[in-house]
A and B are shown apart, each in its own frame.
Chain A
């Protein structure tokens, strides 16, 4: 899970305070592993240093939570690139794919197209592993099978998620 990109994605939805970002991150992506406040503000600080967010206003008082962050064009471009590029097809990608799908729906982006792109990348990798299996030794074949079964599990998740996008959209955009 990429915390900086996920926070950027949440900021593209709307300018937010650090507290709001942590709350939404924990609600949608934390799942038993809440994001520490310190990591939220250190990440926002790095994103600010790199020109991907700016502080839009500061409420009277003290403390980091008085700042409201807004995404820059550079940050938005990075989110766009991240969402549209398929993840390297490796096993156990569910958390990254899940974050992409949820953010895409939150941002009214074509989540179904991202899933199609990911499916294509997965099938491309499965073709490579199938070639290894056909041409290689039994050991190669068994190792390729291990990868194939995990990629197939990801693909089934992609199919199920694709079939439930409308319901998921309602859940993440109440």
Chain B
């Protein structure tokens, strides 16, 4: 397996408060990695640095050979739109749009014509057990349905890397596991690399590997032999 994305000795502070203190991690293409750690450990900050949402104070982010930390905001914005997908815990769907329009959004923003984007988005509804919900708005969806729509939106443009920050944090156990099952199944089918932030061991167990973030550093335990 080749490394698709990595953080090298990344430091990041929010004002005077350090969040990352030399964090390093690398992720192979097609791998599903869980980033775990207690609240305030820096795990979400690490994900945001990897995804080009935050720019490290020092250190490097390398994606597919490109130096993300040295890119302009415009370049990082293009990278996030064209190569990455995102699923977050809360408030991801645009309430004014229908479910299918929400899923199609990354395609539309990339310049794909509506006539091509909407059918491609619709195909995800059957795949994720959302048949018949295409025209609903976010207020008319349950938490689990809304999160599956968000997952479809994260994957519709076939990103190389899907970033998922506590994607099941607002769901009950059973619904959360259904979402993870779909996420892992779809990512494996597409060969998408997944970087998953979670504090829940049961959710991390869907990943191929886990790393722990503590006090802004990554502790990657030796891989246990299968």
Query: Measuring CB to CB, which residues of chain A are less than 8 angstroms from any residue of chain B?
Result: 116-117, 119-124, 126-127, 129-130, 134, 148, 151-152, 155, 159, 163
Contact = CB atoms under 8 A, between A and B. Distances in A.
Given A116-B219, A119-B212, A159-B38, A130 B224 contact: no
A163 B37 CA distance: 12
B217 to A, nearest CB: 12
A130 B205 contact: yes
A2 B195 CA distance: 40
Nearest to A121: B224
17 contacts: A116-B212, A116-B219, A117-B221, A117-B222, A119-B221, A123-B201, A123-B204, A123-B210, A126-B202, A126-B204, A127-B207, A127-B208, A134-B181, A148-B205, A151-B201, A155-B201, A163-B38
B206 interface: yes
A148 B173 CA distance: 12
Contacts of A123: 201, 204-205, 210
A116 B210 CA distance: 11
Contact of A127 (B181, B205, B219, B222): B205
Interface string B192-213: 0000000001101111101010
A126 B205 contact: yes
Given A119-B212, A130-B206, A134-B181, A124 B201 contact: no
Contacts of B210: 120, 123
Given A116-B212, A120-B224, A163-B38, A126 B201 contact: yes
A126 B210 CA distance: 12
A129 B204 CA distance: 12
A121 B226 CA distance: 11
Contacts of A122: 201
A134 B180 CA distance: 10
Interface string B168-186: 0000000000000100100
Contacts of B206: 127, 130
Contacts of B205: 123, 126-127, 129-130, 148
Contacts of A120: 210, 221-222, 224
A157 to B, nearest CB: 12
B221 A116 contact: yes
